[in-house]
Amino acid sequence: MPINDGQSIARNAGKRTTQPIHRAFTLIELLVVISIMGILVSLLSSGVQGAREQSRRVSCANQLRQQSLALHQFHDQFGRLPFGNDRGGGRNQSWAAAVLGQLEQPEIAGRWNRKVAWNDPARNLQLSSTVLPVFRCPTSVNDFPGDTDYAGVMGSALASSRSLVGLDINNGVLIGSSQQRRSAVTLTEIVDGTSQTLMIAEVVDRLPAEHGLWADGRSAISHDNGGINVDGSGEIFSLHPAGAQIAFADGSVHFLTESTDPSLIGALCSRNGREITPAIESHD
């Protein structure tokens, strides 16, 4: 029997039709999502930067260990350490130039003349421009031929008065030669203990005019002006966050924080003040 069109329309009118609902993000929800993404990106970036800095610190510590090992090998061979600055006859030759052979630089060592000035035009000047990666910290910014981001520690005016001799603040390990001191330091002269006395420290990004060259004996420092990472002081300074790396006379590498008391820094820089110093964070 045919169905009446009116009845069909009535039955269909009683049925619910399901339509798809398209719901959009509200502005608040969108802002929340963007904020969360920003936080995640920030956390990821911080983690990457932290990992990179840790890698740079490890590399810097390895550079210091190589330098320390070279100095100990020099001591084994000659019975004493080299001068931090061999001033005799106006030479101003650095400890770094003295250990070229121990740093596995036989070609430069074989041509280097230790009897003339470090920048003698005929003998050493061209060699002193050689780029030696062992003297470059990965955090440094200024890179130029012959630069160094490390310095031998000659001593400190901040040390105990018992370790000072007259006005010659030569109370460290890698000292400068003088009329009063014609021989370099032996390990047995480090009466404060080799594990309690600095030998090398970071001093990054000094320009050539500021003696930031590995061959220049005046690159050796006396830390006299206070804290760590005081920009422009020409003393212990790095671009590592919150401190600088140092090598002790026993060859161990440590991180000296910016909060270190100046009197403690002075004690660590001197070899014979007989100060009692606390343990410093080690990278060994």
Q: 57-71, 107-121, 158-172, 269-283: lowest mean pLDDT where?
A: 158-172
| pLDDT value at 172 more than 70 | yes
Average pLDDT over residues 61-81: 98
| Amino acid 31: pLDDT | 76
Number of domains making up the chain: 1
- DSSP class of residue 2 equals P
Comparing 53 with 103, which gets the higher pLDDT? 103
pLDDT digit string, tens, across residues 253-274:
999 999 999 999 999 999 988 8
Largest CA distance in the chain: 132
Residue 212 lies in a domain: yes
| pLDDT value at 121 more than 90 | yes
Residue 53 lies in a domain: yes
Residue 49 lies in a domain: yes
Average pLDDT over residues 35-51: 68
Comparing 12 with 139, which gets the higher pLDDT? 139
| pLDDT value at 47 more than 70 | no
Query: Is the CB of residue 257 less than 8 Å from the CB of residue 236?
Result: no
What backbone phi and psi angles, to 5 degrees, belong to 71?
A: -65, -40
Q: How far apart are CA 22 and CA 201, in angstroms?
A: 66
| Amino acid 164: pLDDT | 60
Predicted TM-score (pTM) of this structure: 0.80
| Amino acid 171: pLDDT | 92
| Amino acid 264: pLDDT | 93
Lateral strand order in the sheet of 221-222: 221-222, 150-155, 198-202, 243-248, 253-257
| Amino acid 139: pLDDT | 94
Q: Based on the number of CB atoms within 10 Å of its own CB, is 160 exposed (0-12), middle (13-18) or buried (19 or more)?
A: middle
Average pLDDT over residues 190-194: 95
| 3-class secondary structure, 66 | helix
Comparing 201 with 161, which gets the higher pLDDT? 201
Query: Is the CB of residue 223 less than 8 Å from the CB of residue 265?
Result: yes
Q: How far apart are CA 126 and CA 233, in angstroms?
A: 29
Residue 30 lies in a domain: no
Residue 282 lies in a domain: no
Residue 18 lies in a domain: no
Residues 6+ apart with CB under 8 A from 67: 96, 99, 103, 134, 135, 150, 200, 247
| pLDDT value at 59 more than 90 | yes
pLDDT digit string, tens, across residues 80-113:
999 999 999 999 999 999 999 999 999 999 999 9
Residue-number span of the structural domain to which 260 is assigned? 37-269
Residue 182 lies in a domain: yes
Residue 10 lies in a domain: no
- Report the chain's mean pLDDT, rounded to a whole number: 87
| Amino acid 275: pLDDT | 77
